[in-house]
């Protein structure tokens, strides 16, 4: 979202060369579902110059008024640790789990991540047939169509959706909507 400044934040005296390499991490943030909570989280990222690559939020436990925010962010390990602690300071935040770190601890390569996209493709003739054929190969389903267009629904890793969109582009791609990443760790344990 604001990937232009990957500078570590904090002290104005941070002129030491950053030797750590930035990494993408996926954070799960459990929050009270109350007005303004998303603004607090986003404001923290923009105010302190952190990056948001993807953001997903929805109420997950209605009775307890809990929402789960999934954030894909990019930073050095030091900055990522700061982000986690800064998020924990927000009063309505219950828990922050760095799923990427957690998956490493569990001996896994990375957390399970899925994204859903709606992709509208318009066209006739060969390109229309080709679009349908490729959608089938990607296990995308047709959720709306007439003789001039399809809307495909596709679920998968972000990279798969990127690929699908790239393939659809020359075939009459009109519109894309993506949900952002939903993620959790493998195995029986909760977050």
Determine if 63 is a binding residue for another protein (CB under 8 A): no
Strands (DSSP E) along 23-148, which ranges?
23-32, 54-61, 66-75, 93-98, 112-122, 141-145
d(CA 144, CA 106): 41
Q: Per CB under 8 A, does 178 bind another protein?
A: no
Q: How far is the CB of 183 from another protein (least distance, A)?
A: 21
Closest separation between CB of residue 9 and another protein, Å? 9
Q: Is 190 in the site for another protein (CB under 8 A)?
A: no
Q: How far apart are CA 125 and CA 114, in angstroms?
A: 32
Q: Which one, 31 or 135, has the nearer CB to another protein? A: 31
Asked if 119 contacts 164 with a C-beta cutoff of 8 angstroms, the reply is yes
Among 6, 24, 49, 94, binds another protein (CB under 8 A): 94
Does 4 participate in binding another protein (rule CB under 8 A)?
Answer: no
- b/e per residue, 64-88, with b = 16+ CB within 10 A? eebbbbbbbbbbbeebbebbbebbe
Smallest gap from Cβ 57 to another protein, in A, equals 16
Q: Give me the residues that bind another protein (CB under 8 A), please.
A: 10-16, 31-32, 35-36, 39-40, 43, 47, 78, 81-82, 85-86, 88-94
């Amino acid at each position: 979202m604001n990937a232009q400044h990957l500078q570590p934040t904090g002290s104005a005296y941070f002129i030491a060369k950053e030797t750590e390499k930035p990494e993408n991490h996926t954070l799960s943030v459990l929050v009270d579902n109350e007005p303004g909570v998303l603004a607090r989280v986003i404001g923290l990222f923009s105010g302190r110059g952190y990056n948001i690559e993807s953001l997903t939020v929805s109420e997950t436990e209605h009775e307890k008024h809990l929402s789960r925010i999934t954030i894909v962010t990019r930073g050095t390990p030091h900055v990522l640790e700061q982000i986690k602690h800064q998020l924990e300071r927000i009063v309505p935040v219950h828990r922050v789990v760095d799923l990427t770190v957690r998956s490493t601890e569990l001996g896994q390569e990375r957390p399970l991540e899925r994204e859903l996209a709606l992709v509208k493709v318009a066209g006739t003739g060969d390109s229309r047939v080709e679009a349908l054929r490729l959608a089938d190969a990607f296990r995308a389903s047709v959720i709306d169509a007439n003789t001039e267009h399809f809307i495909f629904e596709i679920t998968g890793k972000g990279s798969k959706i990127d690929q699908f969109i790239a393939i659809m582009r020359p075939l009459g791609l009109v519109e894309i909507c993506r949900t952002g990443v939903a993620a959790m760790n493998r195995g029986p344990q909760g977050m």
